[in-house]
Amino acid sequence: MGLEFPVGPMKATLGRLPADDDAWAYEVKWDGYRTIVHVDGGTVRVQSVSGRDVTDEYGELAGLADAVHADRAVLDGELVVLDDDGMPRFELMQRHAREVVFQAFDVLHLGGHDTIELPYEDRRRLLEQAVEPGANWTVPAHRIGGGQELFDATESQGLEGIMAKRLGSTYQPCKRSPNWRKIKHRRKVDVVIGGFTEGGGNRSSTFGALLVGRWDGDRLVFAGGVGTGFDQTTLAAMTPRLRDLEQTACPFDPLPPVSYRRGAHWIEPVLTATIEITEFTNDGHVRHATFLELT
């Protein structure tokens, strides 16, 4: 096969809707695991964004080989798990709570020919011709222009946001390119406070960041840190409440990464905060999180 991706696929930059709307194509941004799928003869190999072979974890994709109109293909896309309403849910994806659906949005190799040097619109045409939709894979729709309309529609549906991809652009493996933009809705989510870090500078008398998690049954699963969104009044009001709840045991299961545990203060997990984020990472951590309020 012509292409292998040991490091990672092409990545997008975080940005705003382009001013030259008609020069871009727009797609829904899916909330799942970015994945490269290799089809070779009758076999399917599933590769994580870090290059790890995860084929055995997603046996439901084995039939994809029969749905591709080529002996060999390399497809880029997102693995998602849909809820009963057909909405992608990252927490279901993390647990692999039900079968995944592979949203194929690019083709990098097809029938013995590498396609990464082709313009976006030609790759998209080939992709739609090459893949027959099935229960566990599909080629999601895209549109030329009309980015604001799609952005508004995804917000009303509770989706993560949209992708803007410049017409005429090639695929650049392992690179983050301004030719792909991710334009996200900021989401409000509730998290449980399980700890905090020491503050420095003008926060030396309060705290630096909240360490937060989300309940998964009776386990509090770590979800990262929240260090912005606090004014001095909020910091002064929250600090004594946090210190009153301090305990020696870490409430998160499993333990957070070592980088978060250094100098951490653990608390009884009884306080809930509403925060605003752009997304949850593949590790289930909040990204670009801002504190809004205790709830």
pLDDT (0 to 100) of residue 1:
44
Any residues with CB less than 8 A from the CB of 156 and at least 6 apart, and which?
A: none
Mean pLDDT for 215-236 is 95
73: pLDDT confidence band, cut at 50, 70 and 90? very high
252 CA to centre of own chain = 22
Q: Collapse the DSSP code of 166 into the 3-class scheme (helix H, G, I; strand E, B; otherwise coil) and give the result.
A: strand
Q: Please, which pLDDT band fits residue 4 given cuts at 50, 70 and 90?
A: low
* Secondary structure (3-state) at 179: strand
Give CA–CA dist 55/74, Å, rounded: 14
Task: Give the pLDDT mean for 254-278.
Answer: 95
Classify domain 187-294 by CATH architecture.
Beta Barrel (2.40)
pLDDT for 11: 95
Q: Which residues are annotated as catalytic?
A: 29
Domains 11-184 and 187-294 share a fold: no
Which CATH architecture describes the domain 11-184?
2-Layer Sandwich (3.30)
Give the burial class of 34: count Cβ atoms within 10 A of its Cβ; 0-12 exposed, 13-18 middle, 19 or more buried.
Answer: middle
Contact present, 145 and 108 (Cβ < 8 Å)? no
pLDDT of residue 102: 98
pLDDT in tens, 157-214: 988 899 999 999 999 999 999 999 999 888 889 999 999 998 888 898 999 999 999 9
Instruction: Please name the residue ranges forming H helices in the chain.
Output: 64-67, 90-95, 120-130, 147-156, 232-244, 258-261
Q: What percent of the chain has a predicted confidence (pLDDT) above 70?
A: 97
Average pLDDT over residues 141-159: 95
Q: Per residue in 172-208, is it b (16+ CB within 10 Å) or e — as a string? A: ebeeebebbbbbbbebebebbbbbbbebeeebeebbb
Report in angstroms the alpha-carbon separations of 15 from 32, 153, 204: 20, 18, 34
Q: Structural domain boundaries of the chain?
A: 11-184, 187-294
* 89-144 pLDDT per residue, tens: 887 898 898 999 999 999 999 999 999 999 999 999 999 999 999 999 999 999 99
